[in-house]
Structure 1
Amino acid sequence: MKLRIPFVTKQPRVSVIRLTGVIGGAGRVGSGLSDAGTAQLIERAFRRGKPVAVALIVNSPGGSPVQSSLIAARVRRLADECKLPVHAFVEDVAASGGYWLACAADDIWADDSSILGSIGVISAGFGFPEFLSRHGIERRVHTAGGSKSFLDPFRPEKPEDVARLIALQEPIHQAFIAQVKARRGARLAEGADLFTGEVFVGRQAVAVGLADGIGHVVPKLKQLYGDKVQMVLHEQKRPFLRRIGVEAASQAMTAVEDRGHWARFGL
Protein backbone atom coordinates (compact mmCIF):
# COMPACT_ATOMS: atom_id res chain seq x y z
CA MET A 1 0.00 0.00 0.00
CA LYS A 2 1.41 3.37 -1.04
CA LEU A 3 0.83 6.37 1.17
CA ARG A 4 0.33 9.53 -0.85
CA ILE A 5 0.70 12.87 0.92
CA PRO A 6 -1.32 15.61 -0.82
CA PHE A 7 0.20 18.94 -1.76
CA VAL A 8 3.77 17.60 -1.43
CA THR A 9 5.73 17.88 -4.67
CA LYS A 10 8.88 15.89 -5.29
CA GLN A 11 11.96 18.03 -5.89
CA PRO A 12 13.81 17.47 -9.18
CA ARG A 13 16.80 15.19 -8.89
CA VAL A 14 20.01 15.38 -10.96
CA SER A 15 22.54 12.56 -10.94
CA VAL A 16 26.11 13.88 -10.87
CA ILE A 17 28.86 11.60 -12.20
CA ARG A 18 32.46 12.48 -11.34
CA LEU A 19 34.89 11.40 -14.10
CA THR A 20 38.37 12.16 -12.78
CA GLY A 21 41.74 10.78 -13.83
CA VAL A 22 43.72 9.43 -16.73
CA ILE A 23 41.67 7.28 -19.10
CA GLY A 24 43.06 3.77 -19.43
CA GLY A 25 42.23 0.11 -19.81
CA ALA A 26 40.36 -2.02 -17.30
CA GLY A 27 43.63 -3.54 -16.09
CA ARG A 28 44.96 -0.30 -14.61
CA VAL A 29 45.72 -0.56 -10.90
CA GLY A 30 45.45 3.18 -10.30
CA SER A 31 42.36 5.34 -10.05
CA GLY A 32 42.04 5.91 -13.78
CA LEU A 33 38.90 5.76 -15.88
CA SER A 34 37.78 2.81 -17.99
CA ASP A 35 34.51 1.62 -19.43
CA ALA A 36 34.51 -1.45 -17.19
CA GLY A 37 35.31 0.64 -14.12
CA THR A 38 32.64 3.29 -14.75
CA ALA A 39 29.86 1.12 -16.25
CA GLN A 40 27.94 0.46 -13.02
CA LEU A 41 28.08 4.01 -11.72
CA ILE A 42 26.95 5.44 -15.07
CA GLU A 43 24.09 2.92 -15.32
CA ARG A 44 23.09 3.69 -11.72
CA ALA A 45 23.19 7.43 -12.30
CA PHE A 46 20.79 7.24 -15.24
CA ARG A 47 18.37 4.65 -13.89
CA ARG A 48 18.17 5.08 -10.11
CA GLY A 49 15.82 7.57 -8.47
CA LYS A 50 14.16 8.91 -11.64
CA PRO A 51 16.54 11.83 -12.28
CA VAL A 52 15.49 14.70 -14.55
CA ALA A 53 19.05 15.05 -15.89
CA VAL A 54 22.59 13.78 -15.55
CA ALA A 55 25.63 15.98 -14.99
CA LEU A 56 29.21 14.93 -15.76
CA ILE A 57 32.03 16.54 -13.78
CA VAL A 58 35.05 15.99 -16.02
CA ASN A 59 38.64 16.40 -14.89
CA SER A 60 40.87 14.35 -17.19
CA PRO A 61 43.97 14.97 -19.32
CA GLY A 62 43.01 12.07 -21.61
CA GLY A 63 44.47 8.65 -22.24
CA SER A 64 43.14 5.68 -24.18
CA PRO A 65 41.06 6.67 -27.23
CA VAL A 66 39.17 3.38 -27.13
CA GLN A 67 38.17 3.71 -23.47
CA SER A 68 37.21 7.35 -24.09
CA SER A 69 34.96 6.25 -26.94
CA LEU A 70 33.40 3.41 -24.96
CA ILE A 71 32.60 5.57 -21.92
CA ALA A 72 31.16 8.37 -24.07
CA ALA A 73 29.10 5.89 -26.11
CA ARG A 74 27.64 4.41 -22.92
CA VAL A 75 26.62 7.87 -21.72
CA ARG A 76 24.94 8.66 -25.04
CA ARG A 77 23.19 5.28 -25.22
CA LEU A 78 21.70 5.70 -21.76
CA ALA A 79 20.78 9.33 -22.41
CA ASP A 80 18.80 8.26 -25.47
CA GLU A 81 17.19 5.28 -23.73
CA CYS A 82 16.20 7.26 -20.64
CA LYS A 83 15.46 10.45 -22.60
CA LEU A 84 17.52 12.57 -20.22
CA PRO A 85 19.60 15.68 -20.92
CA VAL A 86 23.29 15.49 -20.05
CA HIS A 87 25.39 18.46 -18.91
CA ALA A 88 29.21 18.46 -18.63
CA PHE A 89 31.18 20.62 -16.20
CA VAL A 90 34.93 20.88 -16.75
CA GLU A 91 37.17 21.35 -13.72
CA ASP A 92 40.94 21.73 -14.32
CA VAL A 93 41.12 20.03 -17.68
CA ALA A 94 39.09 18.16 -20.30
CA ALA A 95 41.77 17.54 -22.89
CA SER A 96 42.24 14.84 -25.50
CA GLY A 97 40.19 11.86 -24.27
CA GLY A 98 38.88 14.03 -21.45
CA TYR A 99 37.30 16.34 -24.01
CA TRP A 100 35.91 13.27 -25.81
CA LEU A 101 34.08 12.47 -22.55
CA ALA A 102 32.79 16.04 -22.24
CA CYS A 103 31.40 15.83 -25.77
CA ALA A 104 29.05 13.08 -24.61
CA ALA A 105 27.02 15.84 -22.94
CA ASP A 106 24.44 18.05 -24.62
CA ASP A 107 26.23 21.14 -23.34
CA ILE A 108 29.64 21.86 -21.82
CA TRP A 109 30.38 24.38 -19.07
CA ALA A 110 33.85 25.39 -17.88
CA ASP A 111 35.68 27.58 -15.40
CA ASP A 112 37.55 30.65 -16.64
CA SER A 113 40.80 28.76 -16.07
CA SER A 114 39.74 25.33 -17.36
CA ILE A 115 41.80 23.81 -20.18
CA LEU A 116 39.88 22.20 -23.05
CA GLY A 117 40.69 20.69 -26.43
CA SER A 118 43.88 18.89 -27.42
CA ILE A 119 41.96 17.18 -30.21
CA GLY A 120 44.77 15.06 -31.55
CA VAL A 121 46.67 11.81 -31.05
CA ILE A 122 50.08 11.48 -29.40
CA SER A 123 52.57 8.67 -29.01
CA ALA A 124 55.72 9.19 -26.96
CA GLY A 125 58.61 7.08 -25.77
CA PHE A 126 62.38 6.88 -25.31
CA GLY A 127 65.23 5.45 -27.33
CA PHE A 128 68.31 3.78 -25.81
CA PRO A 129 70.47 2.38 -28.64
CA GLU A 130 73.51 4.61 -27.97
CA PHE A 131 73.31 3.92 -24.23
CA LEU A 132 73.43 0.17 -24.85
CA SER A 133 76.29 0.48 -27.29
CA ARG A 134 78.29 2.69 -24.94
CA HIS A 135 77.99 0.12 -22.16
CA GLY A 136 78.74 -2.88 -24.33
CA ILE A 137 75.21 -4.29 -24.14
CA GLU A 138 73.99 -6.29 -27.11
CA ARG A 139 70.27 -6.33 -27.90
CA ARG A 140 69.08 -9.69 -29.30
CA VAL A 141 65.64 -9.86 -30.92
CA HIS A 142 64.31 -12.72 -33.03
CA THR A 143 60.91 -12.36 -34.68
CA ALA A 144 58.62 -14.26 -37.02
CA GLY A 145 57.19 -11.32 -38.91
CA GLY A 146 59.10 -8.26 -40.00
CA SER A 147 56.98 -5.79 -38.01
CA LYS A 148 57.09 -7.49 -34.61
CA SER A 149 59.98 -5.27 -33.43
CA PHE A 150 58.12 -2.14 -34.53
CA LEU A 151 59.54 0.96 -32.74
CA ASP A 152 61.87 -1.09 -30.54
CA PRO A 153 63.28 1.52 -28.09
CA PHE A 154 66.60 -0.32 -27.95
CA ARG A 155 67.26 -0.02 -31.68
CA PRO A 156 67.76 3.08 -33.85
CA GLU A 157 64.47 4.59 -35.02
CA LYS A 158 63.54 3.63 -38.57
CA PRO A 159 61.78 6.08 -40.93
CA GLU A 160 59.45 3.30 -42.07
CA ASP A 161 58.41 2.68 -38.45
CA VAL A 162 57.60 6.37 -37.95
CA ALA A 163 55.57 6.40 -41.17
CA ARG A 164 53.64 3.35 -40.01
CA LEU A 165 52.96 4.95 -36.61
CA ILE A 166 51.58 8.09 -38.28
CA ALA A 167 49.39 5.88 -40.50
CA LEU A 168 48.01 4.27 -37.32
CA GLN A 169 47.42 7.61 -35.60
CA GLU A 170 45.56 9.23 -38.49
CA PRO A 171 42.35 7.13 -38.39
CA ILE A 172 42.20 7.56 -34.61
CA HIS A 173 42.50 11.33 -35.09
CA GLN A 174 39.75 11.27 -37.72
CA ALA A 175 37.45 9.33 -35.39
CA PHE A 176 38.06 11.96 -32.68
CA ILE A 177 37.31 14.79 -35.12
CA ALA A 178 34.12 13.05 -36.27
CA GLN A 179 32.97 12.69 -32.66
CA VAL A 180 33.53 16.38 -31.90
CA LYS A 181 31.78 17.50 -35.10
CA ALA A 182 28.85 15.15 -34.49
CA ARG A 183 28.31 16.37 -30.93
CA ARG A 184 29.18 20.07 -31.25
CA GLY A 185 27.91 20.62 -34.80
CA ALA A 186 27.16 24.21 -35.76
CA ARG A 187 28.44 25.47 -32.40
CA LEU A 188 32.03 25.11 -33.61
CA ALA A 189 33.48 28.38 -34.89
CA GLU A 190 33.64 28.56 -38.68
CA GLY A 191 37.13 28.78 -40.12
CA ALA A 192 38.84 27.86 -36.85
CA ASP A 193 41.28 24.96 -37.05
CA LEU A 194 40.38 23.18 -33.83
CA PHE A 195 41.87 19.80 -34.60
CA THR A 196 45.62 20.43 -34.42
CA GLY A 197 45.97 19.36 -30.78
CA GLU A 198 45.86 22.96 -29.53
CA VAL A 199 44.29 23.67 -26.15
CA PHE A 200 42.02 26.55 -25.17
CA VAL A 201 41.38 28.18 -21.80
CA GLY A 202 37.95 29.04 -20.43
CA ARG A 203 36.40 31.79 -22.52
CA GLN A 204 38.68 30.96 -25.45
CA ALA A 205 37.04 27.53 -25.56
CA VAL A 206 33.62 29.18 -25.45
CA ALA A 207 34.56 31.57 -28.28
CA VAL A 208 35.56 28.73 -30.62
CA GLY A 209 32.59 26.56 -29.70
CA LEU A 210 34.31 23.87 -27.65
CA ALA A 211 32.23 24.93 -24.64
CA ASP A 212 28.86 26.63 -24.22
CA GLY A 213 29.68 28.99 -21.39
CA ILE A 214 31.34 29.65 -18.08
CA GLY A 215 29.53 27.90 -15.27
CA HIS A 216 29.93 25.72 -12.19
CA VAL A 217 27.87 22.66 -11.41
CA VAL A 218 25.80 23.81 -8.40
CA PRO A 219 24.72 27.30 -9.54
CA LYS A 220 24.14 26.14 -13.12
CA LEU A 221 21.98 23.17 -12.10
CA LYS A 222 20.00 25.44 -9.77
CA GLN A 223 19.53 27.87 -12.63
CA LEU A 224 18.29 25.07 -14.89
CA TYR A 225 16.19 23.03 -12.43
CA GLY A 226 15.36 25.36 -9.55
CA ASP A 227 16.91 26.23 -6.21
CA LYS A 228 15.62 23.05 -4.55
CA VAL A 229 17.14 20.64 -7.05
CA GLN A 230 18.65 17.55 -5.44
CA MET A 231 22.13 16.61 -6.65
CA VAL A 232 23.15 13.00 -6.08
CA LEU A 233 26.86 12.31 -6.57
CA HIS A 234 28.12 9.10 -8.20
CA GLU A 235 31.88 8.47 -8.29
CA GLN A 236 34.28 5.55 -8.59
CA LYS A 237 35.34 3.75 -5.44
CA ARG A 238 39.06 3.62 -4.81
CA PRO A 239 40.64 0.16 -5.02
CA PHE A 240 40.76 -1.66 -1.66
CA LEU A 241 44.56 -1.57 -1.39
CA ARG A 242 44.59 2.18 -1.89
CA ARG A 243 41.87 2.69 0.71
CA ILE A 244 43.97 0.95 3.38
CA GLY A 245 47.14 2.78 2.34
CA VAL A 246 48.95 -0.07 0.61
CA GLU A 247 50.83 0.92 -2.57
CA ALA A 248 52.23 -1.86 -4.71
CA ALA A 249 55.17 -1.18 -7.02
CA SER A 250 52.85 -1.38 -10.03
CA GLN A 251 50.64 1.28 -8.50
CA ALA A 252 53.67 3.53 -8.04
CA MET A 253 54.61 3.10 -11.69
CA THR A 254 51.07 3.93 -12.75
CA ALA A 255 51.18 7.06 -10.60
CA VAL A 256 54.34 8.20 -12.42
CA GLU A 257 52.72 7.58 -15.80
CA ASP A 258 49.56 9.44 -14.78
CA ARG A 259 51.64 12.35 -13.49
CA GLY A 260 53.10 12.71 -16.97
CA HIS A 261 49.63 13.03 -18.52
CA TRP A 262 48.67 15.84 -16.11
CA ALA A 263 52.06 17.59 -16.43
CA ARG A 264 51.48 18.20 -20.15
CA PHE A 265 48.93 20.82 -19.09
CA GLY A 266 50.93 22.32 -16.23
CA LEU A 267 48.90 20.50 -13.56
Structure 2
Amino acid sequence: MRLPDRLTSRLPGRLGDRTDRPVVSMVRLHGVITATTGPVPRSVINANALEKTLERAFAPERLAAVALLVNSPGGSPTQSALVADRIRGLAEEKGVPVLAFCEDVAASGGYWLACAADEIYAHSTSIVGSIGVISQGFGLHNLIERWGVQRRLYTAGTSKARLDPFLPEKQEDVDWLRDLQDELHEIFKQWVTTRRGDRLKSGADIFTGEVWTGARAVEIGLVDGLGTARGVLSGRFPDAELVPVEGRRPLLARLGLGAAPAAAWTLGADQLLGITQAAEIRATWARYGL
Protein backbone atom coordinates (compact mmCIF):
# COMPACT_ATOMS: atom_id res chain seq x y z
CA MET A 1 0.00 0.00 0.00
CA ARG A 2 1.36 3.39 -0.98
CA LEU A 3 1.01 6.29 1.44
CA PRO A 4 -0.41 9.59 0.17
CA ASP A 5 2.17 12.09 -1.09
CA ARG A 6 1.11 14.56 1.61
CA LEU A 7 2.39 12.06 4.20
CA THR A 8 5.49 10.68 2.51
CA SER A 9 6.78 14.18 1.72
CA ARG A 10 7.18 14.76 5.45
CA LEU A 11 9.07 11.59 6.22
CA PRO A 12 12.89 11.63 6.32
CA GLY A 13 14.85 8.72 4.93
CA ARG A 14 13.62 6.07 2.52
CA LEU A 15 9.90 6.93 2.40
CA GLY A 16 10.48 10.66 2.16
CA ASP A 17 12.91 10.12 -0.70
CA ARG A 18 10.00 9.46 -3.06
CA THR A 19 9.90 13.23 -3.52
CA ASP A 20 12.64 15.36 -5.02
CA ARG A 21 12.73 17.79 -2.12
CA PRO A 22 15.95 18.00 -0.07
CA VAL A 23 15.71 17.48 3.69
CA VAL A 24 17.04 19.55 6.59
CA SER A 25 16.96 17.51 9.81
CA MET A 26 16.27 19.47 12.99
CA VAL A 27 17.61 17.96 16.23
CA ARG A 28 16.64 19.44 19.60
CA LEU A 29 19.44 19.42 22.20
CA HIS A 30 17.51 20.48 25.29
CA GLY A 31 18.54 19.95 28.90
CA VAL A 32 21.43 19.63 31.29
CA ILE A 33 24.34 17.59 29.92
CA THR A 34 24.82 14.61 32.21
CA ALA A 35 25.30 10.85 32.12
CA THR A 36 22.31 10.56 34.48
CA THR A 37 19.49 8.51 32.99
CA GLY A 38 17.02 8.37 35.90
CA PRO A 39 13.86 10.47 36.33
CA VAL A 40 14.70 14.20 36.38
CA PRO A 41 12.57 17.38 36.18
CA ARG A 42 13.83 18.32 32.72
CA SER A 43 15.27 16.36 29.84
CA VAL A 44 18.98 15.61 29.78
CA ILE A 45 21.61 15.39 27.06
CA ASN A 46 24.17 12.61 26.80
CA ALA A 47 25.86 10.50 24.15
CA ASN A 48 23.86 7.36 24.85
CA ALA A 49 20.47 9.08 24.73
CA LEU A 50 21.26 10.89 21.47
CA GLU A 51 23.03 8.17 19.49
CA LYS A 52 19.99 6.88 17.57
CA THR A 53 18.53 10.37 17.15
CA LEU A 54 21.72 11.66 15.54
CA GLU A 55 21.96 8.63 13.28
CA ARG A 56 18.41 9.22 12.03
CA ALA A 57 19.10 12.93 11.55
CA PHE A 58 22.00 12.21 9.21
CA ALA A 59 20.29 9.29 7.43
CA PRO A 60 18.15 10.87 4.63
CA GLU A 61 19.60 10.42 1.13
CA ARG A 62 18.69 13.95 0.07
CA LEU A 63 20.02 15.53 3.24
CA ALA A 64 20.96 19.17 2.68
CA ALA A 65 21.93 20.09 6.26
CA VAL A 66 21.40 19.29 9.93
CA ALA A 67 20.20 21.95 12.37
CA LEU A 68 20.94 21.74 16.10
CA LEU A 69 18.41 23.53 18.31
CA VAL A 70 20.48 24.11 21.44
CA ASN A 71 18.94 25.00 24.79
CA SER A 72 21.33 23.92 27.53
CA PRO A 73 23.04 25.49 30.57
CA GLY A 74 25.86 22.96 30.34
CA GLY A 75 26.96 20.07 32.50
CA SER A 76 29.42 17.23 32.02
CA PRO A 77 32.46 18.16 29.90
CA THR A 78 32.93 14.52 28.88
CA GLN A 79 29.35 14.08 27.65
CA SER A 80 29.57 17.47 25.88
CA ALA A 81 32.67 16.29 24.03
CA LEU A 82 31.23 12.86 23.20
CA VAL A 83 28.06 14.32 21.68
CA ALA A 84 29.97 17.02 19.78
CA ASP A 85 32.48 14.49 18.45
CA ARG A 86 29.65 12.24 17.24
CA ILE A 87 28.03 15.16 15.43
CA ARG A 88 31.30 16.08 13.73
CA GLY A 89 31.95 12.46 12.75
CA LEU A 90 28.54 12.08 11.11
CA ALA A 91 28.80 15.47 9.41
CA GLU A 92 32.14 14.58 7.84
CA GLU A 93 30.92 11.11 6.86
CA LYS A 94 27.83 12.50 5.12
CA GLY A 95 29.49 15.67 3.81
CA VAL A 96 26.70 18.01 4.95
CA PRO A 97 26.83 21.33 6.83
CA VAL A 98 25.65 21.61 10.42
CA LEU A 99 24.02 24.80 11.73
CA ALA A 100 23.41 25.48 15.43
CA PHE A 101 20.67 27.73 16.80
CA CYS A 102 20.97 28.96 20.38
CA GLU A 103 17.60 29.32 22.10
CA ASP A 104 17.23 30.51 25.71
CA VAL A 105 20.75 29.51 26.69
CA ALA A 106 23.80 27.88 25.11
CA ALA A 107 26.24 28.18 27.97
CA SER A 108 29.25 26.17 29.09
CA GLY A 109 28.66 22.64 27.73
CA GLY A 110 25.73 24.02 25.77
CA TYR A 111 28.11 26.28 23.86
CA TRP A 112 30.48 23.32 23.47
CA LEU A 113 27.65 21.56 21.61
CA ALA A 114 26.94 24.64 19.50
CA CYS A 115 30.58 24.68 18.39
CA ALA A 116 30.06 21.26 16.79
CA ALA A 117 28.23 23.20 14.06
CA ASP A 118 29.86 24.92 11.10
CA GLU A 119 27.75 28.02 11.76
CA ILE A 120 26.11 29.29 14.96
CA TYR A 121 23.06 31.56 15.18
CA ALA A 122 21.27 32.99 18.20
CA HIS A 123 18.35 35.18 19.14
CA SER A 124 19.37 38.64 20.32
CA THR A 125 18.12 37.71 23.81
CA SER A 126 19.86 34.31 24.01
CA ILE A 127 22.44 33.72 26.75
CA VAL A 128 25.69 32.49 25.18
CA GLY A 129 29.17 31.66 26.43
CA SER A 130 30.31 30.65 29.92
CA ILE A 131 33.52 29.12 28.58
CA GLY A 132 34.86 27.96 31.92
CA VAL A 133 34.77 25.13 34.45
CA ILE A 134 32.83 24.99 37.71
CA SER A 135 32.73 22.53 40.62
CA GLN A 136 30.33 22.68 43.52
CA GLY A 137 29.53 20.76 46.67
CA PHE A 138 28.78 21.03 50.40
CA GLY A 139 30.79 20.97 53.59
CA LEU A 140 28.84 18.89 56.11
CA HIS A 141 31.41 18.00 58.75
CA ASN A 142 30.15 20.57 61.28
CA LEU A 143 26.59 19.38 60.78
CA ILE A 144 27.32 15.75 61.60
CA GLU A 145 29.45 16.78 64.60
CA ARG A 146 26.54 18.82 65.94
CA TRP A 147 24.29 15.78 65.81
CA GLY A 148 26.90 13.47 67.30
CA VAL A 149 27.42 11.49 64.10
CA GLN A 150 30.83 9.91 63.60
CA ARG A 151 32.29 9.69 60.11
CA ARG A 152 34.08 6.37 59.59
CA LEU A 153 36.06 6.28 56.36
CA TYR A 154 38.73 3.77 55.40
CA THR A 155 40.86 4.11 52.27
CA ALA A 156 43.86 2.53 50.59
CA GLY A 157 45.60 5.47 48.93
CA THR A 158 46.20 8.90 50.40
CA SER A 159 44.19 10.72 47.73
CA LYS A 160 41.11 8.49 47.72
CA ALA A 161 38.98 10.73 49.96
CA ARG A 162 39.78 14.12 48.48
CA LEU A 163 37.07 16.75 49.06
CA ASP A 164 34.83 14.35 50.96
CA PRO A 165 31.89 16.58 52.06
CA PHE A 166 31.86 15.00 55.53
CA LEU A 167 35.51 15.87 56.23
CA PRO A 168 37.11 19.29 56.82
CA GLU A 169 38.42 20.88 53.64
CA LYS A 170 42.18 20.67 53.01
CA GLN A 171 44.01 23.34 51.04
CA GLU A 172 46.05 20.72 49.19
CA ASP A 173 42.79 19.18 47.92
CA VAL A 174 41.53 22.58 46.76
CA ASP A 175 44.81 23.19 44.93
CA TRP A 176 44.49 19.79 43.24
CA LEU A 177 40.93 20.59 42.13
CA ARG A 178 41.96 23.94 40.69
CA ASP A 179 44.75 22.30 38.70
CA LEU A 180 42.22 19.85 37.30
CA GLN A 181 39.83 22.69 36.43
CA ASP A 182 42.63 24.57 34.66
CA GLU A 183 43.39 21.49 32.56
CA LEU A 184 39.74 21.03 31.56
CA HIS A 185 39.44 24.76 30.86
CA GLU A 186 42.39 24.57 28.48
CA ILE A 187 40.73 21.71 26.58
CA PHE A 188 37.52 23.75 26.32
CA LYS A 189 39.45 26.79 25.05
CA GLN A 190 41.25 24.71 22.41
CA TRP A 191 37.92 23.30 21.18
CA VAL A 192 36.36 26.76 20.82
CA THR A 193 39.46 28.21 19.19
CA THR A 194 39.70 25.32 16.73
CA ARG A 195 36.04 25.44 15.76
CA ARG A 196 35.60 29.22 15.60
CA GLY A 197 39.04 30.11 14.23
CA ASP A 198 39.53 33.66 12.98
CA ARG A 199 35.84 34.43 13.53
CA LEU A 200 36.73 35.15 17.18
CA LYS A 201 37.43 38.86 17.53
CA SER A 202 40.97 39.62 18.63
CA GLY A 203 41.20 41.38 21.96
CA ALA A 204 37.94 39.94 23.27
CA ASP A 205 38.52 38.01 26.49
CA ILE A 206 35.96 35.27 25.97
CA PHE A 207 37.47 32.58 28.20
CA THR A 208 36.65 34.04 31.64
CA GLY A 209 33.40 32.11 32.11
CA GLU A 210 31.36 35.24 31.32
CA VAL A 211 28.07 35.05 29.39
CA TRP A 212 26.70 37.46 26.80
CA THR A 213 23.45 38.11 25.00
CA GLY A 214 23.16 36.80 21.46
CA ALA A 215 23.53 40.34 20.13
CA ARG A 216 26.81 40.83 21.96
CA ALA A 217 27.98 37.30 21.07
CA VAL A 218 27.82 38.24 17.39
CA GLU A 219 30.11 41.21 17.99
CA ILE A 220 32.81 39.12 19.68
CA GLY A 221 32.56 36.21 17.26
CA LEU A 222 30.97 33.54 19.43
CA VAL A 223 28.08 33.29 16.96
CA ASP A 224 27.80 34.10 13.27
CA GLY A 225 24.49 35.91 13.17
CA LEU A 226 21.07 36.54 14.67
CA GLY A 227 17.99 34.65 13.60
CA THR A 228 15.60 31.80 14.30
CA ALA A 229 16.01 28.29 12.98
CA ARG A 230 13.07 28.40 10.60
CA GLY A 231 13.89 31.89 9.41
CA VAL A 232 17.54 31.14 8.62
CA LEU A 233 16.90 27.65 7.22
CA SER A 234 14.03 28.79 4.99
CA GLY A 235 16.29 31.44 3.50
CA ARG A 236 19.30 29.15 3.06
CA PHE A 237 17.39 26.08 1.86
CA PRO A 238 14.14 27.41 0.36
CA ASP A 239 13.22 24.14 -1.37
CA ALA A 240 13.99 21.89 1.59
CA GLU A 241 11.59 20.10 3.90
CA LEU A 242 12.40 20.98 7.56
CA VAL A 243 12.01 17.70 9.43
CA PRO A 244 12.20 17.50 13.26
CA VAL A 245 14.03 14.36 14.39
CA GLU A 246 13.20 13.35 17.96
CA GLY A 247 14.24 10.56 20.28
CA ARG A 248 12.07 7.52 20.78
CA ARG A 249 9.74 7.84 23.76
CA PRO A 250 9.08 4.87 26.08
CA LEU A 251 6.10 2.72 25.06
CA LEU A 252 3.97 3.78 28.04
CA ALA A 253 4.55 7.45 27.22
CA ARG A 254 3.60 6.89 23.57
CA LEU A 255 0.37 5.23 24.73
CA GLY A 256 -0.38 8.18 27.00
CA LEU A 257 -0.21 6.06 30.14
CA GLY A 258 2.71 7.87 31.75
CA ALA A 259 5.08 6.25 34.19
CA ALA A 260 4.64 4.96 37.69
CA PRO A 261 5.57 7.40 40.45
CA ALA A 262 9.23 7.28 41.32
CA ALA A 263 8.38 6.47 44.93
CA ALA A 264 6.87 3.17 43.80
CA TRP A 265 10.17 2.02 42.39
CA THR A 266 12.81 3.60 44.63
CA LEU A 267 13.53 3.46 48.30
CA GLY A 268 15.83 5.14 50.80
CA ALA A 269 19.16 6.15 49.31
CA ASP A 270 17.85 5.94 45.73
CA GLN A 271 15.11 8.46 46.56
CA LEU A 272 17.63 10.79 48.18
CA LEU A 273 19.94 10.48 45.17
CA GLY A 274 17.08 11.31 42.80
CA ILE A 275 16.13 14.39 44.82
CA THR A 276 19.75 15.53 44.90
CA GLN A 277 20.13 15.09 41.14
CA ALA A 278 16.91 17.00 40.52
CA ALA A 279 18.11 19.85 42.75
CA GLU A 280 21.47 20.02 40.98
CA ILE A 281 19.81 20.16 37.56
CA ARG A 282 17.37 22.84 38.72
CA ALA A 283 20.27 24.88 40.14
CA THR A 284 22.16 24.63 36.84
CA TRP A 285 19.23 26.21 34.97
CA ALA A 286 18.67 28.78 37.74
CA ARG A 287 22.15 30.26 37.21
CA TYR A 288 20.77 31.79 34.02
CA GLY A 289 17.41 32.84 35.42
CA LEU A 290 15.52 29.87 33.91
TM-score (norm. length: structure 1): 0.91
In 2, are the aligned partners of 1:91 and 1:111 still within 8 Å (CA)? Answer: yes
Q: Number of residues paired by the alignment?
A: 259
Aligned residue among 117, 125, 143 for 2:129: 117
Q: Is the 8 A contact 1:26 1:35 kept in 2?
A: no
Partner of 2:267 in structure 1? none
Matching residue of 1:229: 240
Kindly tell me: are residues 225 and 117 of structure 1, through their superposed partners in 2, closer, same or farther at Cα, counting changes over 3 Å? same
Per the alignment, residue 52 of structure 2 pairs with 40
Whole-Å separation in 1 of the counterparts to 2:25 and 2:171: 50
Query: 2: distance between equivalents of 1:145 and 1:9?
Result: 64
Instruction: Verify: 1:16 aligned to 2:32, yes or no.
Output: no
Kindly indicate whether the alpha-carbon contact (under 8 Å) linking 2:21 and 2:62 is maintained by their aligned counterparts in 1.
Answer: no
Per the TM alignment, residue 165 of structure 1 is displaced from its structure 2 partner at its CA by: 0.6
> What is the percentage of aligned positions where both structures have the same residue?
50
Which portions of structure 1, spanning 4 or more consecutive aligned residues, are displaced by more than 3 angstroms?
26-30, 237-243, 249-254
Residue 14 of structure 2 corresponds to none
Residues 26 and 36 of structure 1, relative CA distance in 2, 3 Å threshold: farther
The 1:103/1:160 distance shift into structure 2, 3 A limit, reads: same
Residue of 281, 284, 289 corresponding to 1:258? 281
Distance of 1:201 and 1:241 partners within structure 2: 40
Q: Look up the match of 1:4.
A: none
Given candidates 176, 187, 205, the residue that maps to 1:175 is 187
Whether 1:51 and 2:63 are equivalent positions in the alignment is yes
Question: Is the CA contact (8 Å cut-off) linking 1:241 and 1:247 kept in structure 2?
Answer: no
Deviation at 1:223, TM superposition (A): 0.6
- Confirm or deny that 1:214 pairs with 2:226: yes
Deviations, residues 92-137 of structure 1 (Å, cap 9, x unaligned): 0010000000000011110111001000110000101111222222
1:87 matched to 2:99? yes
The answer to whether the 8 A contact 1:45-1:234 is kept is: yes
- C-alpha distance in 2 between matches for 1:219 and 1:247: 40
Q: Deviations over 1:128-179 (max 9, x none)?
A: 1111222222211111111111101111110000001111111111111000
The aligned counterpart of 1:5 is none
Q: Distance in 2 between matches of 1:25 and 1:73?
A: 16
Given that 1:16 and 1:56 are in contact with CA atoms closer than 8 Å, whether structure 2 keeps it comes out as yes
Separation in 1 of the partners of 2:101 and 2:201? 20
- TM-score normalized by structure 2? 0.84
Query: Could you say what secondary structure the match of 1:259 adopts?
Result: helix
CA distance change for structure 1 residues 240 and 62 in 2, over 3 Å: closer, same or farther? Answer: farther
TM-superposed CA distance for 1:235, in Å, is 2.1
Structure 1: unaligned runs, 5 residues or longer: 1-7
RMSD: 1.8
The change in CA–CA distance for 1:166 and 1:231 in structure 2 (over 3 A counts) is: same
Q: Residue 229 of structure 1 aligns to which amino acid in structure 2?
A: A
